[in-house]
Structure 1
Amino acid sequence: MSNPQSIIDTVDQWSSTPIPALVFGGSLLLKGAFPAVTHTVSGSGGGGVKVKTAVIKPTRVSCLGFGAANLLGAWIMYDGEPVNGAGFNFAWSTLYLIVNGGASIKSIFRGKVSPAALSILALGNSSIYGRKFFWSKEGPLQ
């Protein structure tokens, strides 16, 4: 079993790097570049087939917007502002969970895994960067 102190040290190390934000932002941009649209075919009553399209959350605009915001936060961290970048990434990851978290849980029951995986990444980013922003030695509350 690993030492709890070493887990906290690992989280502190990851919170000083832009890597988690790059992974989450890149994943969102990839999801936005290839959106999932389902087609359901209604019954044909007279020769024509009606096709309905249902967009599954997260939407393309949501993925591209939140992905760009997380990549901007990664750039802020890379540019030498790790505390401000952590706060920025914490805020945008939390906003992603507020907007898309409920739909990602429902998507599991529909057989879609990627929305839940994106929400897990957002939760991880919120945890990692929230710890850095609020409880770090150089954070805003110290």
Structure 2
Amino acid sequence: MSSNSSDSQPVASQGLLAQLTELSSTPYPALANSALLLATPVVSPAVASPTAVANGRSFWTSFSRPKYVGPSSKTALLFGAAQALGGWIIYDGDLESGSGFLAAWSALYLIVGGRGSVKALRYGRVWPLLLSSAAFTNTYFYGRRFIAGGFV
């Protein structure tokens, strides 16, 4: 009793790109990014350990100013709230505006924290790179949906 209909493809046989493109019509990627950003102050503090900062420097310069690795708590809360708001816009039914809003705020996060996420790898921190990867994914798929006008 197997059906050989080519109209209904199982979800597993679709490509990952097609699945992510289809997922960009929902608020779930934005809410996942928001959850990651809002968890940042708890999961990965932005201030590096004093030993990581003091390596290669004199003793007194390491106490002059804390070395920030990754986004600060304020940055994480601001962009996390923006992602949650964009997810709410899509949930409320305005897919085009929500996609544009999320693409813009995700691109802004990449501008603000993109380079710092790569530099954080020097200190053994992968959380900032995870945040930038999520922001890039949202920028690409929501931006693609916004530019195509829902024809993706």
Q: TM-score range by the shorter chain?
A: 0.7 to 0.9
Rounded to whole Å, the distance in 2 between the matches of 1:137 and 1:19 is 17
Q: Of the candidates 110, 114, 134, which is equivalent to residue 101 of structure 1? A: 114
Q: Does 1:38 align with 2:48?
A: yes
Aligned residue in 2 for 1:75 = 88
Shift of 1:138: 5.3
Q: Of the candidates 19, 34, 38, which is equivalent to residue 25 of structure 1? A: 34
Rounded to whole Å, the distance in 2 between the matches of 1:54 and 1:30 is 20
Rounded to whole Å, the distance in 2 between the matches of 1:44 and 1:69 is 40
Rounded to whole Å, the distance in 1 between the matches of 2:17 and 2:59 is 60
Bigger Cα displacement from structure 2, 7-16 vs 98-107: 7-16
Aligned partner of residue 53 in structure 1, secondary structure: coil
Letter in 2 for 1:18: P
| Coordinate RMSD, CA, aligned | 2.6
Rounded to whole Å, the distance in 1 between the matches of 2:70 and 2:29 is 22
CA 1:111–1:8 in 2, change beyond 3 Å: closer, same or farther? closer
Rounded to whole Å, the distance in 2 between the matches of 1:105 and 1:128 is 22
The percent identity for this pair of structures is 38
Aligned residue in 2 for 1:92 = 105
Q: Which 5+ residue runs of structure 2 have no aligned equivalent? A: 1-11
Whether the aligned pair in 2 keeps the contact of 1:24 and 1:67 (CA below 8 Å) is yes
**Higher percent of residues as strand:** 1
* TM-score after normalising by structure 1: 0.81
Shift of 1:11: 2.8
Rounded to whole Å, the distance in 2 between the matches of 1:52 and 1:39 is 12
Shift of 1:108: 1.1
CA 1:64–1:84 in 2, change beyond 3 Å: closer, same or farther? same
Residues matched between the structures, number: 133
CA 1:60–1:44 in 2, change beyond 3 Å: closer, same or farther? closer
Q: Which 5+ residue runs of structure 1 have no aligned equivalent? A: none
* TM-score after normalising by structure 2: 0.76
Rounded to whole Å, the distance in 2 between the matches of 1:138 and 1:130 is 12
